[in-house]
Amino acid sequence: MNPIDKLKAHYDTLDSFEHLRAMSGWDQATMMPVGGAEARSDAMSALALHIHKLLSEPRILDWIDEARNKPLSNEDDAFLREAFNSYMHANRLPESLIEAKSKAGDKCELAWRVQRKENDWAGFLKNFETVVALSKEEAEIRKDGHATAYDAMMDLYEPGMTSSMVESVFNDVEQWLPSLIAEVIEKQKTTPDQSDVERVVHYPIAAQKQLSESLMHLFGFDFERGRLDVSMHPFCGGVSDDTRITTRYDETSFIQAMMGVIHETGHARYEQSLPAHLKKYPVGKARSMGIHESQSLFFEMQIARDERFIPHLFNYANQHLASAIPTELGLMQFQRQIQRVEKGYIRVDADEVTYPAHVILRYQIEKALINGEINVSDIPELWDQKMQHYLGLSTKGNYRNGCMQDIHWTDGSFGYFPSYTLGAMYAAQFRAAMSQEVDVAGCFEQADLKPIQQWLNTKIWSKGSVLTTNELVKQATGEALNAAHFKAHLETRYL
């Protein structure tokens, strides 16, 4: 057996355990009884340790070195590159740290579900300090070759991206975002949106689920290889052949759940469309979290919030919720709610104009935290200061809707947040490039998403990680990441 085949056989085995971990994580967030938390944490920790052993198997490096001495196709060369990166990421950490971080993350996340509801920062702090300490230990170990500890953590989600690169983009956004938010909100004051209409009636959860599943069909979700469920924090998980979407419903409002499902469907379509012959290997996985977010945000922001597509959403909503939707909620009011821009506390509910402010805030705090510039106890005050600076809102004492609102930090996923706004920028850039080849407006008007998804499949989904992020973006759009497309998109839609 040649070294490439040996590597593939090894990753076949590894992928099976990754599959089980993904399913167990989904069950933990959706179905697991509270009493199973401790036993599940132990099981997940043992599984994480076993996966780590497989990822850091010394033979991987031997096979890679052996394979590099032979002629390689472009795909095999990329396979070895991603296998080497995966090995290096795993091999840097001692097993004791992997196990400790897994247990601490599970404990923190499970307690957070209750503590967030109770606005219990003091209780959350006890577990969270352990998660942060272990994450900082991990960052210091990974720091070799990176400018800062935070850069090392960000590399796990955005390979090749650095703090200096992120800040060059975010600093530009900070220059024009506050005035854009103010200008859009002022403009929308002249068109009353009857915002109370959608909140005064009852929307049965069963009907909302039917609406969600109908829209998932429209967006091409393969129900033979996936499903929709409920969790406290919406997510897309599972694996390519068994993709799990979750959402959360509010019986007084259906729009948030509807748009959330469309967002997660974007993630799912990417996962379900990754190259089948490479899906078990690092080179067949999604390119980066920024590219992943670009797909969910393309579905939610570029498509679903476009004024030419919104009438189709309105028709779908009326088909499933006709008896609940008040007569006052006409298409115009519906569109105003879909495109409404307002300052709010909750990131996952934020509109696309204010959303970058939420991400920049989190990026600045977590970077300072991992780089040792602040302590965990400093977070609430810093959060309040930055919320007031960016959005004019105070979160003093409001931990539930402030620094405790996200799930990402509970398991030590530091370095992830920049991906959200990078994703929005990539999505706008993909839309601009796509418009040169596809009648995007016509597709929206006809609710025919196949040409759009064919473009995405050809340029993004089918590539997996064969190309680096920069290569992928350049090949798809003709240029590297260019935030000007994002600014132009927001100005065109809202001004």
For residue 5 the two structure tokens come to 């085949």
Which position among 264, 271, 293, 366 bears the catalytic label?
264
Edge-to-edge, what's the strand order for the sheet holding 236-239? 226-230, 242-247, 236-239
66 belongs to the catalytic site = no
32, HSE (Cβ side, Cα atoms, 13 Å) = 19
Of 370, 334, 393, the residue nearest 195 (C-alpha): 334
Q: Torsions phi, psi of 125, nearest 5?
A: -60, -35
3-state secondary structure 381-417: HHHHHHHHHHHCCCCCCCCCCCCCCCCHHHHCCCCCC
CB-count exposure of residue 22 (10 Å: 0-12, 13-18, 19+): middle
Paired sense of beta strands 236-239 and 226-230, if any: unpaired
DSSP three-state, residue 117: helix
Angstrom distance (rounded) from CA 113 to CA 276: 36
Handedness of CA 407, 410, 416, 418 (dihedral sign): positive
C-alpha neighbours within 13 Å on the C-beta side of residue 473: 21
Is residue 403 a contact partner of residue 463, using CB atoms and an 8 Å limit? no
Give, rounded to a whole angstrom, the gap between the first and last alpha carbons of the chain. Answer: 61
Helix (H) / strand (E) containing 229: strand 226-230
Residue-level length of the chain: 495
Q: Which amino acid is at 283?
A: V
* Kind plus residue range of the DSSP H or E element containing 154: helix 149-154
DSSP states of 78-95 as a string?
HHHHHHHHHHHHHHTS-H
- Positions marked active-site: 264
